[in-house]
Amino acid sequence: MTTRAALALVAILSGPAAASPDARDGDAPPAGLVSGKPARGSALDPVFAHLKLERLSCKFSEEKRVALLARPLRSTGTIHFERTRGIARTTLTPRLQHVVLTATSLRIRKDQRTEEIPLDKSKDLKAFALIFPTLLRGNRTELERAFEIGLYGSDSGWWALAFTPKTESLRGLVRSVVLFGRKSEVVSIQVTEVSGDLTDTRLTSILKNGAVPDAEIATAFGAP
């Protein structure tokens, strides 16, 4: 799959958005957290232990900062993760869109139309698309095949996992991905595109594992 198609995938995963003047509330990571020399190797183990989940559900609010726009684009919705099925993301505002990301494909439903994009034609595209579900499975080894991973802070307080692409072709898809958290909770995800545009997704109302009902997972993913 081409770089152009990959950047379209970034837009799809970020969901539809609209310009808005309203500021968002929420507990943000401290300024300067991602600075200095990151820890690597076994120092990442405590954070990855927190990330190893069977299920997760949450609400999200998102800003995309585009260089050519005076105001960020904003959207809201819900995200569901199930270890064997993948990620289901429903954007509620500014317009409805439902995305299901599995290990092999991306399925997008909007305006009563469904499109399916295979991921197995591009190793790099698949590595980028599956960062978040692979993180929630706690699979560091798989992620390290495609990314250099650095830890800032520690799992006793604020932390950030920074993912830098290893290959030139992957660097053509995305500049960096940073996952922010506080102790055992994931707080936000930032994706910086090769253009410099930045998408910041904040997660709230998080439920994990047995706290996420079977019926909610079935609704989010639809028929197996």
Q: Return per-residue pLDDT of the chain as tens, 224 residues.
A: 444 445 555 655 566 777 765 545 447 888 899 999 999 999 999 999 988 999 999 999 999 998 888 899 999 999 999 999 999 999 999 999 999 999 898 888 888 888 888 888 778 778 888 889 998 998 999 999 999 999 999 999 999 999 999 988 888 888 999 999 999 899 999 999 888 889 999 999 999 999 999 999 999 998 55
Alpha carbon separation from 30 to 140, 159, 181, 196 (Å, rounded): 25, 10, 11, 21
* DSSP classification of residue 156: T
Instruction: Retrieve residue 46's tokens.
Output: 């405590």
What domains does the chain contain, in order, with CATH numbers? Answer: 3-17+42-221 (2.50.20.10)
